[in-house]
Structure 1
């Protein structure tokens, strides 16, 4: 089972978004049969089997084993991944395009960049899996608390300057045997936990 699987096929995305099938995918983090799942989700076994077949057709669940019980063969299934990400490729005609209106201070442009990141990395993961080769990536994830909006703006300026300097140092246009890489750096307000709705409202108001 993969940690994360990327869904690029529109039909598979549609199947995964069905509430019942999404629940079954969640339950199938551990192998289970239709009979076992029926008791958990409160549906007839035949109905669960119907949904499982749809998930299996699109590669979202896989057969682990078959058990013979009397005259019945029980199929034990498992999700192919612990979690799934739907790539913008699945909605290619309306996928965000960050080149339309680049604006470093726009939250919607950041969202378009994030969507492109999901699309590109998803495509790379799929290709690497088919070629059975490792995929070299790097990411940093952390949090910083700014004392003021002025500090945040100063941080953004220094960060941009530092990244620009590094790119200038290591970028070699036309290097033989080299490979282009994409650099994405983002700063946005942290989303508070559900236990702190007042803080969430305050953060949203400040950034609007």
Structure 2
């Protein structure tokens, strides 16, 4: 089982978003038969079997074991990953394009950049898994509490300057055999778990 799987196929994305199937995927973090799963979620075994076949057809669950109990043939299934991320590639016709309106102060542009990050890393990860290799990536995150909006702006400008210096120092356009890497740095207000800011239609106030 993978820690995280990226869903790039539109049909698989649609299947995973069904509330019942999403619940089944969550339960299948540990291997279960249709009978065991039906008891957990309170659905008829026939209906669970139907959903499992759909999930299996789209590569979201996999067979772990087949066993027989008397006259009953059981298939023990589990999810192919502990969690899933839907790539913007699944909505190729309407996926956001950061090149359309590059504005580093725009939250919508930040979302477009983040969507591209998910799409690109997802594609790299899928290719690496097929080739049996790892993807060379680096990520870090932190939290800073600003006293004022002016401090936040100053921090952003200093961060941008430091990043520009690093890029200028290490970028080598003429390096033979070199490979370009994409660098993304983002800054946004923290949203605590369970905060009203996560509710639809809520507004995060600036200061």
| TM-score relative to the length of structure 2 | 0.96
Runs of 5+ consecutive residues of structure 1 not aligned to the other structure: none
Q: Deviations over 1:158-201 (max 9, x none)?
A: 0000000000000000210100000000000000232x548x99
The answer to whether the 8 A contact 1:189-1:203 is kept is no
SS of 1:124 mapped into structure 2:
helix
- 1:92 aligned residue: 92
Cα distance, 1:128 vs structure 2: 0.4
- 2:26 aligned residue: 26
- 1:119 aligned residue: 119
The answer to whether the 8 A contact 1:5-1:81 is kept is yes
Q: State how far apart, in whole Å, the 1-side matches of 2:202 and 2:15 are.
A: 37
- 2:108 aligned residue: 108
RMSD of aligned alpha carbons: 1.8
Cα distance, 1:71 vs structure 2: 1.4
Cα distance, 1:202 vs structure 2: 10
Change (3 A) 1:10 1:191: same
Cα distance, 1:121 vs structure 2: 0.1
Q: State how far apart, in whole Å, the 1-side matches of 2:192 and 2:61 are.
A: 33
The alignment covers a number of residue pairs equal to 206
The answer to whether the 8 A contact 1:30-1:78 is kept is yes
- 2:50 aligned residue: 50
